Structure 1
Amino acid sequence: MAVYRHIHIDYWQDGFVLDLTPEEKYFYIYLMTNSKTSQCGIYELPKRIIETETGYNRETVDKLLDRFVEYKKIKYCKETGEIFLINWLKHNRISSPKVRKCIYKELKKIKSIDMVNLFLDECYKYGYTLDESEIKINMGMDRVSIPIPQVKNNFEHGYGEKEKQKEKEKQKEKQKEKEKYKEKEVSHSVGRFKKLYEENIGLINGVVAEWLIEISQTIDYNLFKKAIEIATDRGKCNKGYVSGIIKQWLDNNIRTYDDLKAYEIGVKNRRDESGEYKKFEYANTNERENEKYTRKPTDEEIEELRKSYENMRRNREKL
């Protein structure tokens, strides 16, 4: 286990972190730097240790753990007390032979097979291929061998019908996860983006085509669809307005529809705690600059306009 954990200086400017409360920012750093963290991003962290090291009581610890699960930043196993930092592999490469050796050793100690499966899914997602022969997870009676990238739990014969049924259920869940991952890959197909644009906005020229290709590689289809829906509801379904919505999302590090939902949950939690509420304005820069010309006039402005009109009428009568 490494003695140091590296935190990028952009942590404080990250769109997700900017919207966290001070308490949440502190807790998120704690999850990434506490003494139990591991090279694979999965580690056992008893709540009593969290209480001792952070100074929070049990109620606050439970609340913060649940909140980061809702934000989709961690997975937490209540049975084993293990935590998995979902974005760990995104920022910590495992290409080094020494790092891989350390990870193989750590995987043998993980108690939750679900956590192991989640880790292997993340490896598959980022294109890491681990050595099958090195991954032997010691789970007591449920001793399994898990290859990469097809993750399987190969039980030996003679464990009974109950264990076999559990294995079948796990295989079904694993298949669903694979199908879900494939759907995410398909969701970035530029063809679907073009079709949605043509059906709701209009014909596609060269400039729009290039923009759609770039957008399809940046956000997922469901988030693009949401931007179209927002623009349609406001009667401003044009490329400029849709592009403005997407820019605001990207500025807040929102690239998928799940990211947007997690952001909205965070906003709601902060609103409930502080009474403040922050939401996207979904307006182009030009629209915000022209608000003074489109807003409703004040009573004083109406009275001034009325007096001006009366003076004009009297002058006409004199003529």
Structure 2
Amino acid sequence: MSKYRQVQVGFWQDGFVLDLTPEEKYFYIYLMTNSKASQIGIYELPKRIIETETGYNRETVEKLLKRFIEYKKIQYNDSTKEIMIMNWVRHNWNNSPKVVARVEQELDSVKHIPFALLYLEIANSIKEDTVSIQYPCSMHSLGKQEIRDKDKEKDKEKDKDNENEPENVADAPVIPFEEIINHLNQKGNTSYRHTTKKTQSLILARLKDGFTTEDFKKVIDVKTEEWLHDKQMNKFLRPETLFGTKFESYLNQKPKGGPPNGTNQKRGRESGPSEWDDIRI
């Protein structure tokens, strides 16, 4: 279905618009009527799209965006690529329930939350008797609901984090993710990150099996000595191979050209709880 955006004929006699250059007038109209424009005046508009639709180069686009931000007519968030046309709500509402529903839907999809909250603040500042605008009450309720929903989400995340943490955080063991991966990167000339969830889960699983940080280093030393200069095998110098189900056999492997890694290298849960049992990734 086709979408339409209305521009009042009084736009051209507006004091602000009269002082704009032809280029600025064109750009201002574009911001209100482009293919991404929305009911609430907050929408995702990548600079690449602006270039394509206006024919301007990136330098001109950046210049015009900055200029209208300085004019306090728009805000732009680079991380989400969203734009907000200020005061859009003051000039683009009627009392249709369909519009209210559309507003709620679009506000829910806004990624940069400060834009949504600013929209509600502006909407709530409109007098209730403003002609053809009956949203201040509805928007006020919507604002409260959004805040409640976001608070609930935060509480859920907080509860989830609390479930995954030991009761006494001060006494929680420090998991040597960084120490182990740094050793692998140094020995294997690799650049793995210790923050990757998959890598962390593998390391934690072996720690829960009863292996130690030194065991990880021994496995890394043995396998890098064996595989580092082997074109077919050096690709396996990675956490998912080294710290997987063959970890114990690697640990007990005899180093190339040297004595075994000590005697009785077998590790495992003897009995009783482990300090790692309560840790979750």
| Higher helix fraction (1 or 2) | 1
